[in-house]
């Protein structure tokens, strides 16, 4: 073995081939969150961009009259341009990835041994060249980046790049030249050990430099072998087997090795590594849930929200390393991220850390107190474009923080239905009010029932004008009284002068219309009742009814001027005029649809707002 060959082998042997790497604090991981645990293992991930490595080393030693001087320098630049999957040809499964690109290397080595008698032995190697890297069906681990999140570090392996060099060995009376292949992995990267360095995690570029000592003496007689094998294309040199000169060279080598002493050499190595991360061709895309899709509490279990998310990557082998995953917080709801496993088969997720891979589930327990916490949420995964979803609650669930009233009532009174906060929710309604949506009880009580959250059909109310000759013959009597009249009995004396169109109302719109309806009853009670003569006893003073006749044609002697007892329900015989005012107030409903996060509801894909059990 030659002096040059033994030097490389000795240094590499200290840490082993797999450990010839640079360890730097991992900028992608940051500090682990308190209580968060990661598996203490190294995971290979893609790296794309350009790499520049330079090294300069020199050493010298002396033992008696023997003097040794050595110097070397090298530079390697690599450009990683692509990623491809490694696919098992038999199963079709992807089991890894490889990188493609080019590597340019240059290397210079010079070593001189001076003997006491002045004779010199000189080794000189110059190499430069370029190698285009391509995958040939086997994993060759060209340029590797490994992450260990538990340690918060990464390990980088420089790329390999075999280049042709010219080696000149000068011995007393003889000079021999050869052209071996030099591997930049050994010649440029071989001096590096496990060295830790910290740098700015926010920086896009990764750089480090260090100086190393090599205090261990290099000894062994065979270090002075000058024999060269012209047939081999690497740096292991053996005596030539050519018949013309082989025996003589072998004999000279043995004699030299037996008689020359050795000397310890200390190397001072300057190492510099720069990683300039470029545009990586690795890509990650969130495939599910769809953009703007709908997720809701209670889909699997009451008081819980489960959102499964899936992503795909190119190269596909990277999918098991997709990290980190996250979803917007929901204040008041406890969030947990769980892995669905390598094959995405665990519906409720696995409690493992770190959570990475192609599929996860976001688990939230407890509904939030604030209605504002529902709605648009963002899901992120690795470098993928963010995906947005919308979060809802079940309309008729009771898993809100108070847990006693329906969810729609708990959340709608936070702004979706203005004024609802003044109403007390009663479910079921008292006897006799099974078909009632809301109620005002004098002097200051408001009640709302489940039907206020459902639907009411459209309706048309006719407002009648009473012509000359119309005789009020008992309209103040209940409709079931024999003295009461109907529009049909006196239709020649009345005519429709206006129609009040009441639209179909659903969900928050019906609820707000009901609130406005009952508040109008309250307004009549507080503002009109008892303020003047009221001959028909409908709480609308005669004077007010006369003043508003251009609008309503109210009859001061009839509490149900427009026959709502026949158009709507018999009970309006005694206050139909007031009810008409309240029905008209419903037209001003203005529920805030953007705050309705009930399912079904105004913003939900489920529009079945009329069904109590959708």
Q: Tell me: the pLDDT tens digits for 377-418?
A: 999 998 899 999 999 999 999 999 999 999 999 999 999 999
| Contact predicate 209/272, CB 8 Å | yes
241 close to 249: Cβ distance less than 8 angstroms? no
pLDDT at 518 over 80: yes
Residue 603 lies in a domain: no
Q: Using pLDDT thresholds of 50, 70 and 90, give the confidence band for residue 64.
A: low
Residue 163 sits in which domain range? 3-277
Contact 62, 190 (CB under 8 A): no
pLDDT at residue 218 in the model: 35
Confidence label for 594 from pLDDT (cuts 50, 70 and 90): very high
The predicted-structure confidence for 227-258, as pLDDT tens digits, reads as follows 333 222 323 333 333 332 333 333 333 333 33
Residues 31, 159 within the same domain = yes
- Identify the domain boundary among 256, 277, 298: 277
In the chain, the percentage of residues whose pLDDT exceeds 70 is 61
- Per-residue pLDDT of 130-146, as tens digits, reads 766 655 444 455 566 66
Sign of CA dihedral 274, 276, 281, 287: positive
Shared domain for 243 and 333, answered yes or no, is: no
pLDDT of residue 156: 59
* CA proximity to 408, closest of 601, 605, 603: 601
Instruction: Residue 230: name the closest of 271, 278, 177 by CA.
Output: 177
pLDDT above 90 coverage of the chain, percent: 40
Rounded to an integer, the average pLDDT of 289-308 is: 94
The answer on pLDDT for 596 being more than 70 is yes
Show the tokens assigned to 158: 């420089």
Q: Which CATH number does the domain housing residue 341 bear?
A: 2.60.40.10
Q: Residue 325 has what pLDDT?
A: 94
- Domain assignment present for residue 132? The answer is yes
Position 102 confidence tier, pLDDT thresholds 50, 70, 90: confident
Query: How confident is the model over 315-342, as a mean pLDDT?
Result: 89
Q: Element (H or E) spanning 446, and its range?
A: strand 445-448
Question: Is residue 505 very low, low, confident or very high in pLDDT (cuts 50, 70, 90)?
Answer: very high
Tell me what pLDDT residue 410 has. Answer: 98
Q: Which two tokens stand for residue 479?
A: 């409709």
Is the per-residue pLDDT at 155 higher than 70? Answer: no
Q: Residue range 596-613: average pLDDT?
A: 94
Residue 601 in any domain: the answer is no
User: Which has the closest alpha carbon to 514: 585, 438, 424?
Assistant: 438
pLDDT band with cut points at 50, 70 and 90 for residue 164: confident
Pair (267, 333) in one structural domain:
no
- Tell me: pLDDT of 590 over 60: yes
Please tell me whether residues 490 and 582 are part of one structural domain.
Answer: yes
- Residue 188 pLDDT > 50, yes or no? no
End-to-end CA distance of the chain: 84
Q: Name the pLDDT band for 113 (thresholds 50, 70, 90).
A: confident
Residue 610 falls within a domain, yes or no?
no
Instruction: Say if residue 442 is exposed, middle or buried (CB neighbours under 10 Å; 0-12, 13-18, 19+).
Output: exposed
Q: Which residue has the tokens 């795909």?
A: 312
Q: How far is CA 132 from CA 104, 173, 276, in A?
A: 9, 40, 20
Specify whether 439 is located in the same domain as 355.
no
* Domain end among 363, 394, 425: 394
Q: What is the DSSP letter of 225?
A: B
Asked if the structure places residue 614 within a domain, the reply is: no
**Where is pLDDT greater, at 105 or 284?**
284
pLDDT for res 148: 58
User: Does residue 40 surpass a pLDDT of 80?
Assistant: no
Q: Of the candidates 277, 298, 322, which is a domain's last residue?
A: 277
Could you tell me the CA-to-CA distances from 455 to 416, 436, 452, 514 in Å, in that order? 17, 12, 7, 11
Does position 9 have pLDDT exceeding 80, yes or no?
no
Q: What is the mean pLDDT of the segment spanning 438-450?
A: 97
56/245: higher pLDDT: 56
Q: 287 and 248 in one domain?
A: no
In this structure, are 194 and 339 located in the same domain? no
Q: CB-based burial of residue 107 (10 Å sphere; 0-12 exposed, 13-18 middle, 19+ buried)?
A: buried
How many domains would you assign to the chain? 3
pLDDT band at 69 (very low <50, low <70, confident <90, very high): confident
Q: What is the mean pLDDT of the chain?
A: 73
How do the residues of the chain divide into helix, strand and coil, expressed in percent and rounded to 5? 20, 35, 45
**For residue 613, what pLDDT is reported?**
76
- Shared domain for 474 and 569, answered yes or no, is yes
Q: Are residues 94 and 10 in the same domain?
A: yes
Q: What is the pLDDT of residue 138?
A: 47
Peptide bond before residue 13 is cis, with ω within 30 degrees of 0? no
Q: Once rounded to an integer, what is the mean pLDDT over residues 339-349?
A: 79
Tell me the CA distances in angstroms from 576 to 1, 446, 483, one per residue in order: 114, 20, 18
Going 571 to 576 to 582 to 585, the CA torsion angle's sign is positive
Beta strand segments in 115-216, E: 120-133, 144-148, 153-157, 162-171, 174-178, 181-183, 205-214
What pLDDT does residue 42 have? Answer: 67
Q: What is the mean pLDDT of residues 566-594?
A: 95
The answer to whether the CB of 256 falls within 8 A of the CB of 226 is: yes
**Is the preceding omega at residue 356 within 30 degrees of 0, hence cis?**
no
Residue 320: band (very low, low, confident or very high) from pLDDT cuts 50, 70, 90: confident
Same domain, 173 and 202: yes
CA distance 155 to 42: 8
Domain contains 607: no
Mean pLDDT of 505-517: 98
- In a shared domain, residues 195 and 104: yes
Average pLDDT over residues 191-213: 40
Q: Is residue 400 part of a domain?
A: no
Who wins on pLDDT, 121 or 358?
358
Q: Are residues 534 and 584 in the same domain?
A: yes
> Does residue 399 lie in a domain region?
no
451-457 average pLDDT score: 97
């Amino acid at each position: 073995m030659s002096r040059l060959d033994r030097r490389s082998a000795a240094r590499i042997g200290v840490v082993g081939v797999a450990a010839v790497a640079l360890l730097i604090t991992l900028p992608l991981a940051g500090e682990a969150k308190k209580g968060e645990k990661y598996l203490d293992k190294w995971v290979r991930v893609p790296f794309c961009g350009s790499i520049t490595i330079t090294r300069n080393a020199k050493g010298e030693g002396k033992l008696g009259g023997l003097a040794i001087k050595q110097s070397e320098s090298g530079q390697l630049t690599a450009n990683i341009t692509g990623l491809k999957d490694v696919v098992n040809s038999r199963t079709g499964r992807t089991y890894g990835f490889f990188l493609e690109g080019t590597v340019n290397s240059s290397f210079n080595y010079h070593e001189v041994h001076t003997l006491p008698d002045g004779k010199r032995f000189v080794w000189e190697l110059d190499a430069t060249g370029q190698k285009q890297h391509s995958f040939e069906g086997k994993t060759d681990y060209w340029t590797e980046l490994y992450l260990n999140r538990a340690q918060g570090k990464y390990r980088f392996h420089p790329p390999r790049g075999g280049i042709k060099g010219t080696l000149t060995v000068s011995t007393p009376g003889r000079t021999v030249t050869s052209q071996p292949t030099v591997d930049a992995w050994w010649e440029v990267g071989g001096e590096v050990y496990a060295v830790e360095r910290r740098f700015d995690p926010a920086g896009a570029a990764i750089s480090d430099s260090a100086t190393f000592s090599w205090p261990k003496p290099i000894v062994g007689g065979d270090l002075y072998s000058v024999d060269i094998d012209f047939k081999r294309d690497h740096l292991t040199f053996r005596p030539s087997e050519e018949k013309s000169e082989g025996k003589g060279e072998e004999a000279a080598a043995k004699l030299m090795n037996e008689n020359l002493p050795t000397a310890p050499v200390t190397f001072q190595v300057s190492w510099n590594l720069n990683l300039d991360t470029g545009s990586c061709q690795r890509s990650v895309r969130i495939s599910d849930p769809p953009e703007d899709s709908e997720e809701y509490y209670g889909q699997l279990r009451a008081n819980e929200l489960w959102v499964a998310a899936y992503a795909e990557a190119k190269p596909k082998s990277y999918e098991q390393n997709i990290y980190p995953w996250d979803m917007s917080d929901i204040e008041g709801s406890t969030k947990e991220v769980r892995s669905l496993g390598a094959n995405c088969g665990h519906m409720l997720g696995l409690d493992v850390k770190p959570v990475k891979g192609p599929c996860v589930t976001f688990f939230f327990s407890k509904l939030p107190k604030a209605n504002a916490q529902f709605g648009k949420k963002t899901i992120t995964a690795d470098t993928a474009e963010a995906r947005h979803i919308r979060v809802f609650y079940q309309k008729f669930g009771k898993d809100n923080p108070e847990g006693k009233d329906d969810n729609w009532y708990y959340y709608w009174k936070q702004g979706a239905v203005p004024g609802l906060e003044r109403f007390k929710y009663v479910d079921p309604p008292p006897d006799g009010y099974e078909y009632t949506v809301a109620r005002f009880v004098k002097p200051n009580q408001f009640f709302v029932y489940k039907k206020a959250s459902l639907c009411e059909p459209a309706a048309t109310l006719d407002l009648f004008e009473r012509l000359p000759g119309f005789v009020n013959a008992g309209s103040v009597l209940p409709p079931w009284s024999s003295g009461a009249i109907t529009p049909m009995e006196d239709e020649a004396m009345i005519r429709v002068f206006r129609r009040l169109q009441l639209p179909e109302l659903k969900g928050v719109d019906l609820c707000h219309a009901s609130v406005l309806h009952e508040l109008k009853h309250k307004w009549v009670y507080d503002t009109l009742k008892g303020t003047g003569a009221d001959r028909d006893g409908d709480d609308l003073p005669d004077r007010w009814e006369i003043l508003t006749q251009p609008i309503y044609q109210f009859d001061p002697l009839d509490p149900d001027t427009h026959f709502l007892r026949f158009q709507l329900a018999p009970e309006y015989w005694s206050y139909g005029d007031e009810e008409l005012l309240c029905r008209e107030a419903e037209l001003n409903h203005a529920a805030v649809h953007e705050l309705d996060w009930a399912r079904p509801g105004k913003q939900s894909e489920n529009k079945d707002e009329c069904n109590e059990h959708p």
